[in-house]
Amino acid sequence: MSLGVRAAVTRATRTVVPMWPLSSFIAVNPLGAHESEDFAISGVTRPRNAYLADYASGRISGADLVAAVLHRVPELAGAGNVTLGGRVWTAAELVASELVHADHHGRTTPPPPSPDPVDELVSIWIAAYLDPHPLWEMPDRDQGLWAAWTTMTRYDPRLPKMARKRLRDIPRTADEALAQALARLDPSGSRTEAILRQEALGLPGWVAHIKWRAEHVGDINLTSYLAIRLTLRWALDLPLPLAVKKPELGSATVWERAGTIIPALAEDSASPDTLARVARILTLHPPHLHASTWQSAYEEHYRLQLVATLSPTTTRDLQSAVQLVMCIDPRSEGMRRHLEADLEIETYGFAGFFGVPIRFASYQARGTIDSLPALIAPRHAVTETTNDLPRARRRTNALRFRDALAAGVHASETTPAAPFALAETLGWFFGAGALLRTLWPGTIRARERLHRQATPALSTEVTIADAFTLEERASLAETAIRMMGLDRFAPLVVLAGHGSSSANNLYQSALDCGACGGNPGAANARAATAIFNDPQVRRILAGRGLAIPETTVFVAAEHNTVSDRIDILDRHLLPESHIDVLNEFIGTQRIAADLLVRERSSELPGASGHSLARLRRRAHDWAEVYPELGLAGNAAMIIGPRAMTRGVNLERRVFLHSYVPELDPDGSALETIMTAPLVVAQWINHQYYFSTVDQNRWGAGTKTIHNAIGTIGVLAGHGGDLKSGLPLQSVAVGNTNLHEPMRLTVLIQAPLDRIGTIISRNQVLRDLFDNNWIALTARDSQHSPWHRYGTYGWHTDTELGQTTEGD
């Protein structure tokens, strides 16, 4: 085995960001491997014309442009002024004018590469290997991809006879084959990495998924994949693919740039001295920054509006009857806002796994789900137990019967010839069902009711005591309380995870909870509730100064983001004393849900004028490609007390994480928020950004032509690459964007020196903030001025002025 070859493969694919399977869709920054470089280098922004249109409409103002220019190049503040056309221009104004009047950042995009026959063949083989047909799996599949491929290609009729003959005599291992292929192509070994990198660019979606799978499943790796590609290229006598040229920037000199901008601003010709002064200023803002500065100006406009809308009140002394903790997901913001119209309810934002990372198995389920952020590995296995064994037996029998029925039908569908008999015997039945479902999507609810009646409901509990030691449980509870600043306790505390429901939606998982690994958050809410209600945990917490009153009860719930209903879970565990307050909460929630569904309908495509019932039926309509809009529109994250935002309509665009510095004396809770929820929010934000800005490269295309490869991913049509990113319907309607592509604006209310220290000791945060992948604005407290984090650290944000809240 050649370790050198493996090292070369790793180096060549270092910038590939792993792609999770569709069954647990994890939003990622597709350019995450480039976060150590400045965002401007990526060059992925909207076209200049789009920014100019926004400038013309006022979506980007002249002041936004100047502010963006100054933030990007602070040195311009001291670069002097220039008199042109009878007025004095500051250096920043001059640079901003160049953005408007001259196009020096226009990148010429090279033509797409011609189709590569290797891509087409390899895509089919990889799909067949990773998603095996139950009756027709690849030969020798159990020995790995290379063994399966070498056995099968000897008989694959799509390959010419000569190629099949050549492939009979190839090395037994992928490592040896790759080394041999590389030696043929590059005897000197000087281009090894470049060849491998070029080859890996062929099917970027498959490569990204193989990278994930190699780390998490282990039945495939990139060495085998690249060995197949290069061996096949040799067998078919195909040349290496041409290197993709990088987009080229305009090559105007700074003198030419000055010569272009001066006539646009002044009728008279400029003196040599003025020309030199203009050129010197323009040098500070080279063309490769122009696109990202436009993007910053676009974001600056939103940032100023966001800060201006923040709540002027910062304290709330009312004692609430209910505290509701929801995920930081922007969709929670709408629900929290409507619920808080009832002054008896106060809400908090926390990552939707509630600080309890688990691998969860439902009662007697066959599989498990990893319900935790993608940033950590599962270590705690939580299951369900029940005391009602007779009912559990009946339920298990009913589920087994349904499973057997489904398996029988599936086997009939996949066995040769049987489908014909199936169509003859059961075709009418299924046809009628399909017709009903198509014309009356609501009938699916009747079927679900039938299923529920046939399957007895079971009261269960999650098994936290087996999964976590008492000390672990107490630590998790303490961490959660300090992270969300829960400094007082209402009689009822509702922990509401969230999930989405939709029919025939391959991207269902993308609508579930990102903090729960693309799963619904009910299991985590139940586990967290069990921990908070544990008397032993409460005793330890009281010893740490975090006493939870005996009268306080936690209850788990799940927010359905299509219907906006909050279902209460494990009601049987709630004491009689809290039933009334729970019922009052449920009544208030129903009103809030209706208001929120109506509010969201104004943005849902094709929902205008529809009744609430019809809007909610989208969850069951298998022809509906917009069951909800997910996180479209997400643009900011606010870390601070809810009082900053209470009563403000943030239009479901903001990740809201509660935080109270006083409950976090050593700053560890803030560090956890900034290194986990903030990082996940950034992944989501950039997934939306890149899927919107360049849907062809970073998006998955339209859902209407997607073909599923098991639960792995989708192809557009019948072949080609595995699609990555979000589908078109997550970010746009036709050519109109539903999502405004903006990098995350982060607002934090916490001591600036604490924030600075956390950034300085965490590479991931240094990369994100120093390299302009996200923007940070912060203030020490509600009475302090806002500061902006920039090239030289903190500086007072003059655009936002002095904060007057609370005065």
> Which CB, 113 or 378, lies closer to other proteins?
378
Give residues 218-237 in contact with other proteins (rule: CB under 8 A). Answer: 221
- CB distance 520 to 499 below 8 Å: yes
Applying CB under 8 A, the span of 4-12, 54-62, 161-169, 623-631 interacting with other proteins comes to: 4-12
Measure the CA–CA gap between 506 and 25, rounded to whole angstroms: 10
Identified binder of other proteins from the candidate list 6, 164, 316, 391, rule CB under 8 A: 6
> Which CB, 4 or 647, lies closer to other proteins?
4
Structure tokens at 136: 């027709």
Torsion of CA 180, 185, 191, 194, to 10 degrees: -90
Measure the CA–CA gap between 35 and 535, rounded to whole angstroms: 45
Q: Would you count residue 764 as binding other proteins (CB under 8 A)?
A: yes
Q: What is the bridge-based pairing of β-strands 793-796 and 787-790?
A: antiparallel
- CB distance 8 to 193 below 8 Å: yes
> Among residues 554, 548, 751, which one has the least CA distance to residue 640?
751
> Which CB, 578 or 766, lies closer to other proteins?
766
End-to-end CA distance of the chain: 71
Q: Would you count residue 202 as binding other proteins (CB under 8 A)?
A: no
> Which CB, 738 or 748, lies closer to other proteins?
748
* Cβ neighbours around 3 below 10 Å, total: 8
> Which CB, 21 or 441, lies closer to other proteins?
21
Q: Minimum distance from CB of 7 to other proteins (Å)?
A: 4
What DSSP element (H or E) covers 424? helix 418-439
Measure the CA–CA gap between 224 and 235, rounded to whole angstroms: 16
User: Which residues does residue 322 pair with via DSSP β-bridges, in sequence order?
Assistant: 345, 492
- CB distance 513 to 497 below 8 Å: yes
- Residues 6 or more apart whose CB falls under 8 angstroms from that of 775 comprise 296, 299, 303, 743, 744, 745, 746, 769, 788, 789
Q: Minimum distance from CB of 484 to other proteins (Å)?
A: 13
- Residues 6 or more apart whose CB falls under 8 angstroms from that of 216 comprise none
Q: Would you count residue 172 as binding other proteins (CB under 8 A)?
A: no
> Which CB, 89 or 354, lies closer to other proteins?
354
Q: Minimum distance from CB of 373 to other proteins (Å)?
A: 6
Q: Minimum distance from CB of 5 to other proteins (Å)?
A: 9
Q: Would you count residue 194 as binding other proteins (CB under 8 A)?
A: no
Task: Using alpha carbons, list the distances in angstroms from residue 478 to 346, 355, 486, 730, 755.
Answer: 20, 10, 10, 37, 21
Q: Minimum distance from CB of 45 to other proteins (Å)?
A: 26
Task: Using alpha carbons, list the distances in angstroms from residue 62 to 54, 66, 298, 309.
Answer: 11, 6, 11, 21
> Which CB, 7 or 56, lies closer to other proteins?
7
Measure the CA–CA gap between 681 and 398, rounded to whole angstroms: 41
> Which CB, 81 or 771, lies closer to other proteins?
771
Q: Would you count residue 393 as binding other proteins (CB under 8 A)?
A: no
> Which CB, 374 or 747, lies closer to other proteins?
374
Measure the CA–CA gap between 90 and 84, rounded to whole angstroms: 11
Phi/psi of residue 794, each to 5°? -80, 145
Q: Minimum distance from CB of 85 to other proteins (Å)?
A: 47
Q: Would you count residue 14 as binding other proteins (CB under 8 A)?
A: yes
> Which CB, 463 or 762, lies closer to other proteins?
762
Q: Would you count residue 771 as binding other proteins (CB under 8 A)?
A: no
Phi/psi of residue 346, each to 5°? -125, 150
DSSP 217: T
Identified binder of other proteins from the candidate list 52, 214, 238, 398, rule CB under 8 A: 214
Provide the mask over 361-380, with x wherever binding to other proteins is found by CB under 8 A and - wherever it is not. Answer: ------------xxxxx---
Provide the mask over 452-481, with x wherever binding to other proteins is found by CB under 8 A and - wherever it is not. Answer: ---------------------------x--
Give residues 659-678 in contact with other proteins (rule: CB under 8 A). Answer: 668, 671-672, 675-677
Q: Minimum distance from CB of 462 to other proteins (Å)?
A: 20
Q: What is the bridge-based pairing of β-strands 381-382 and 358-360?
A: parallel
Q: Minimum distance from CB of 218 to other proteins (Å)?
A: 9
Measure the CA–CA gap between 604 and 751, rounded to whole angstroms: 40
Q: Would you count residue 7 as binding other proteins (CB under 8 A)?
A: yes
Identified binder of other proteins from the candidate list 400, 761, 783, 795, rule CB under 8 A: 761
Number of residues this chain uses to bind other proteins (CB under 8 A): 35
Q: Would you count residue 410 as binding other proteins (CB under 8 A)?
A: no
> Which CB, 37 or 137, lies closer to other proteins?
37
> Among residues 528, 522, 419, which one has the least CA distance to residue 473?
528
> Which CB, 373 or 699, lies closer to other proteins?
373
Applying CB under 8 A, the span of 9-17, 144-152, 287-295, 684-692 interacting with other proteins comes to: 9-17
Applying CB under 8 A, the span of 88-96, 604-612, 639-647, 757-765 interacting with other proteins comes to: 757-765
Q: Would you count residue 8 as binding other proteins (CB under 8 A)?
A: yes
Q: Minimum distance from CB of 552 to other proteins (Å)?
A: 25
Q: Would you count residue 19 as binding other proteins (CB under 8 A)?
A: no
Q: Would you count residue 243 as binding other proteins (CB under 8 A)?
A: no
Measure the CA–CA gap between 307 and 748, rounded to whole angstroms: 11
Largest distance between two CA atoms of the chain: 95
* Cβ neighbours around 47 below 10 Å, total: 13
Q: Would you count residue 627 as binding other proteins (CB under 8 A)?
A: no
- Residues 6 or more apart whose CB falls under 8 angstroms from that of 577 comprise 551, 553
Site residues, other proteins (CB under 8 A)? 1, 3-4, 6-8, 10-11, 14, 214-215, 221, 351, 355, 357, 373-377, 479, 668, 671-672, 675-677, 679, 758, 760-764, 766
